[in-house]
């Protein structure tokens, strides 16, 4: 396999030669430098590399080019090499355009011209991007194929796990010729889906998420037995804690049972997060945070479920479902929440077969030309409605209240009002669902009149309530009546300290009833359910971890 390519494109011949020369001088022994003098020529080169099966590590494009500017080029190049890191060359006057590109094409870096000396301004940037790309490329399996049925819940679970963990794969229907051939070659039938076929021809029949994680290169086993900090849950709060913990020298391991990002990772567009004026997708934000945590030295364990927490004197021991364990001086609980299941009859057996909990962005293109029903009136439901409106014939947003003002941000309400294909149904709830192989209809009830009606649909997405992932903490830390972890002042109301608390001080602000165990983000009682506040609490928890460790 030829060396991966670093492609540069600039319509100024002098600049083009200079950047290619500087890159070749430092990286020419490991990477092939491809130079183009126009965006069209660069795209032609990328298409040729794609057909040859070669890899592209970094794309460097000048912003000001005729016919197609650098942002437009990078947007087109993403379709060919989505994993390539993206750099925009720009003059100081175009800095605003470069900042906007961070949201449009998930730009990794913008580089001001001139970049001399390259040892200070160019090479450190490329070193970091190439390191990140290499880490991704080492685990990527571009020819990974998933064979399954369109309405198979296990098939959906495998696809969703891979997609949310940013693992590239190709979806093959079991009743297509290629799918049938793969099933025959593996010695299984269409009843045995999902079948996952790796690039080297290995077949995984109905694999668990742990099997998938191990096969695609996601770490599942801790490298050590003892750490300074274990973070449970890789949503915004957990990622924030991992970044700050690892960056400040703590031996940190981050444990996630499904995929990094949590509920925020499923969001199609987060528009009120600081620093992203044009919004950012949950996957983009998650990927950046994950890469940042890994760069600082944090470990990330995927598809591992923690089932208990124990106080072992000076250590906190976390046990996994398989019986193994990991110990640490401190723990940050950041397990977040999950959407509540709809109690309506007929829907439980259709989960993953038309009824979905949370936004499943990978399903949006399949909804083209059809009616989609979304249950919920908070921001997550609104963001999903806007996203699905780009594909569906019509999006029906079902809410129990009179309007959206009580639970949804005003900017999102305004967006929804401007989209003709989104219809809000107030005082409406789902009371039933039916279908054979998949969801075919739902029954709606007017909460004011009690009248019911049936509507035909194959797509129902649910965003109601929030249940914390804390059953495994029963008997270990204090929780409120809904299962959220009590911390700090909530533990000492009435002037009493929590039962079993032996320290002479009160619990720190985010500290639970077990000393050295902190809670951050949505899992904490009375927390603000926003991405920014979750990240902030993750960072704050690390500062309290330091205070706890210094006092020991």
Mean of the per-residue pLDDT values of the chain? 91
Question: Where do the DSSP E strands lie in 435-545?
Answer: 441-446, 452-456, 460-462, 467-468, 517-519
Q: Among the three residues 215, 250, 271, which one is the final residue of a domain in this structure?
A: 215
399 token code pair: 């809410």
SS3 at position 6: strand
In a domain, 482, yes or no: yes
Quick one: pLDDT at residue 104? 62
pTM of the complete model: 0.78
The whole-angstrom separation of Cα 183 and Cα 205 is 10
Quick one: pLDDT at residue 138? 56
Query: Cα–chain-centroid distance for residue 380?
Result: 14
Lowest mean pLDDT among 165-174, 218-227, 274-283, 488-497: 274-283
Query: Residues 477, 328: one domain?
Result: yes
| Residue that wins the pLDDT comparison between 82 and 35 | 35
Quick one: pLDDT at residue 78? 85
The DSSP call for residue 4 is P
In a domain, 221, yes or no: no
Closest CA to 537 of 164, 255, 243: 243
Query: Residues 210, 156: one domain?
Result: yes
Quick one: pLDDT at residue 103? 63
Lowest mean pLDDT among 292-306, 355-369, 426-440: 355-369
Question: Residue 142: pLDDT above 60?
Answer: no
Q: How far is CA 90 from CA 62, 109, 112, 226, 228, in A?
A: 6, 11, 5, 46, 42
Question: Residue 141: pLDDT above 60?
Answer: no
- C-beta of residue 516 within 8 angstroms of C-beta of residue 507: no
Query: Residues 263, 412: one domain?
Result: no
The whole-angstrom separation of Cα 33 and Cα 9 is 11
Confidence of residue 41 (pLDDT cuts 50, 70, 90): very high
Domain containing 251 equals 226-338+468-551
Give me the sign of the Cα torsion angle 130, 134, 135, 136.
Answer: positive
Total domains present in the chain: 4
In a domain, 220, yes or no: no
pLDDT per residue over 218-269, tens digit each? 999 999 999 999 999 999 999 999 999 999 999 999 999 988 888 777 777 7
130: domain CATH number is: 3.40.50.2300
Q: Among the three residues 436, 462, 488, which one is the final residue of a domain in this structure?
A: 462
pLDDT per residue over 286-337, tens digit each? 888 999 999 999 999 999 999 999 999 889 999 999 999 999 999 999 999 9
Question: Residue 392: pLDDT above 60?
Answer: yes
> How much is the average pLDDT of 80-92?
87
Query: Residues 364, 403: one domain?
Result: yes
Query: Residues 315, 276: one domain?
Result: yes
Confidence of residue 466 (pLDDT cuts 50, 70, 90): confident
The whole-angstrom separation of Cα 16 and Cα 129 is 20
Cis-peptide, bond into residue 138, ω within 30° of zero: no
184: domain CATH number is: 3.40.30.10
Cis-peptide, bond into residue 117, ω within 30° of zero: yes
Question: Residue 48: pLDDT above 60?
Answer: yes
Residue identified by tokens 């031996």 is 251
The whole-angstrom separation of Cα 277 and Cα 274 is 8
> How much is the average pLDDT of 373-390?
93
| Residue that wins the pLDDT comparison between 314 and 448 | 448
Closest CA to 212 of 162, 174, 173, 171: 162
145-159, 225-239, 269-283, 481-495 — most confident range: 225-239
The whole-angstrom separation of Cα 25 and Cα 6 is 13
In a domain, 343, yes or no: no
Question: Residue 459: pLDDT above 60?
Answer: yes
Render 290-329 in DSSP notation, one character per residue.
HHHHHHTT-EEE-S--EEEEEEETTEEEEEETTS-EEEEE
Query: Residues 328, 374: one domain?
Result: no
426: domain CATH number is: 3.50.50.60
SS3 content of the chain, % helix, strand, coil (to 5): 35, 25, 40
Closest CA to 518 of 493, 492, 547, 551: 547
In a domain, 112, yes or no: yes
Residues ≥6 apart with Cβ < 8 Å to 515? 501, 502, 503, 507, 548
- C-beta of residue 84 within 8 angstroms of C-beta of residue 59: yes
Render 37-69 in DSSP notation, one character per residue.
SSHHHHHHHHHHHHHHT--EEEEEEES--SSS-
Query: Residues 333, 473: one domain?
Result: yes
| Residue that wins the pLDDT comparison between 415 and 361 | 415
In a domain, 479, yes or no: yes
Query: Residues 444, 472: one domain?
Result: no
Q: Among the three residues 398, 427, 462, which one is the final residue of a domain in this structure?
A: 462
The whole-angstrom separation of Cα 72 and Cα 63 is 9
pLDDT per residue over 89-130, tens digit each? 888 766 776 666 666 667 888 888 888 899 999 999 999 999
The DSSP call for residue 421 is T
Query: Residues 17, 134: one domain?
Result: yes
Lowest mean pLDDT among 88-92, 94-98, 337-341, 510-514: 94-98
In a domain, 409, yes or no: yes
- C-beta of residue 404 within 8 angstroms of C-beta of residue 382: yes
- C-beta of residue 233 within 8 angstroms of C-beta of residue 374: no
> How much is the average pLDDT of 543-552?
95
Quick one: pLDDT at residue 295? 92
Query: Residues 57, 126: one domain?
Result: yes
Burial of 497 (0-12, 13-18, 19+ CB in 10 A): middle
Quick one: pLDDT at residue 327? 98
Query: Residues 412, 324: one domain?
Result: no
In a domain, 160, yes or no: yes
Quick one: pLDDT at residue 315? 96
Query: Residues 63, 132: one domain?
Result: yes
> How much is the average pLDDT of 369-382?
94
């Amino acid at each position: 396999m030829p060396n991966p390519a670093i492609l540069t494109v600039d319509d100024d011949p002098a600049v083009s030669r200079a950047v290619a020369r500087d890159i070749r001088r430092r990286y020419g022994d490991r990477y092939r430098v491809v130079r183009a003098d126009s965006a069209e020529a660069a795209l032609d080169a990328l298409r040729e590399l794609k057909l040859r099966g070669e890899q592209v590590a970094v794309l460097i494009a000048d912003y000001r080019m005729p016919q197609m500017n650098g942002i437009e080029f990078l947007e087109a190049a993403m379709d060919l090499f989505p994993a390539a890191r993206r750099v925009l060359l720009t003059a100081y006057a175009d800095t605003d355009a470069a900042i906007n590109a961070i949201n449009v094409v998930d730009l990794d870096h913008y580089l001001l011209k001139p970049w001399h000396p390259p040892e200070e301004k160019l090479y450190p940037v490329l070193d970091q991007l190439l390191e990140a790309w290499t880490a991704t490329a080492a685990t990527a399996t571009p020819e990974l194929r998933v064979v399954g049925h369109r309405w198979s819940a296990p098939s959906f679970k495998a696809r969703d796990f891979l997609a949310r963990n940013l693992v590239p794969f190709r979806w093959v229907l079991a009743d297509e010729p290629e799918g049938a051939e793969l099933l025959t070659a593996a010695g299984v039938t269409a009843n045995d889906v999902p079948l996952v076929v790796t690039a080297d021809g290995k077949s995984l029949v109905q694999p668990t998420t742990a099997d998938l994680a191990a096969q695609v290169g996601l770490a599942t086993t801790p490298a050590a037995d003892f750490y300074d900090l274990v973070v449970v849950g890789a949503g915004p709060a957990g990622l924030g804690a991992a970044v700050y913990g690892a960056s400040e020298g703590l031996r940190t391991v981050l444990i996630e049972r499904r995929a990094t990002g949590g509920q925020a990772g499923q969001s199609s567009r987060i528009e009120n997060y600081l620093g992203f004026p044009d919004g950012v997708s949950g996957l983009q934000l998650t990927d950046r945070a994950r890469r940042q945590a890994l760069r600082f030295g944090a470990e990330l364990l995927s598809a591992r479920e923690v089932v208990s927490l124990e106080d072992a004197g000076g250590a906190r021991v976390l046990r996994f479902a398989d019986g193994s364990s990991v110990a640490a001086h401190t723990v940050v609980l950041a397990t977040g929440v999950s959407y509540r299941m709809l109690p309506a009859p007929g829907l439980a057996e259709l989960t993953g077969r038309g009824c979905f909990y949370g936004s499943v962005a990978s399903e949006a293109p399949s909804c083209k030309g059809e009616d989609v029903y979304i249950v919920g009136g908070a921001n997550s439901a609104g963001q999903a409605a806007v996203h699905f409106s780009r594909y569906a014939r019509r999006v029906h947003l079902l809410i129990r209240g009179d309007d959206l003002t009580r639970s949804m941000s005003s900017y999102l309400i305004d967006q929804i009002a401007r989209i003709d294909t989104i219809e809000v149904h107030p005082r409406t709830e789902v009371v039933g669902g039916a279908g054979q192989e998949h969801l075919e209809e739902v029954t709606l009830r007017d909460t004011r009149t009690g009248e019911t009606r049936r509507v035909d649909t194959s797509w129902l997405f649910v965003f109601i309530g929030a249940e914390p992932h804390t059953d495994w903490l029963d008997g270990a830390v204090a929780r409120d009546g809904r299962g959220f972890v009590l911390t700090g002042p909530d533990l000492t109301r009435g002037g009493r300290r929590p039962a079993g608390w032996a320290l002479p001080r009160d619990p720190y602000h985010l500290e639970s009833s077990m000393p050295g165990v902190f809670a951050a983000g949505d899992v904490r009682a009375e927390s603000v359910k926003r991405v920014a506040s979750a990240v902030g609490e993750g960072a704050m928890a690390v500062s309290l971890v330091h205070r706890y460790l210094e006092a020991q």
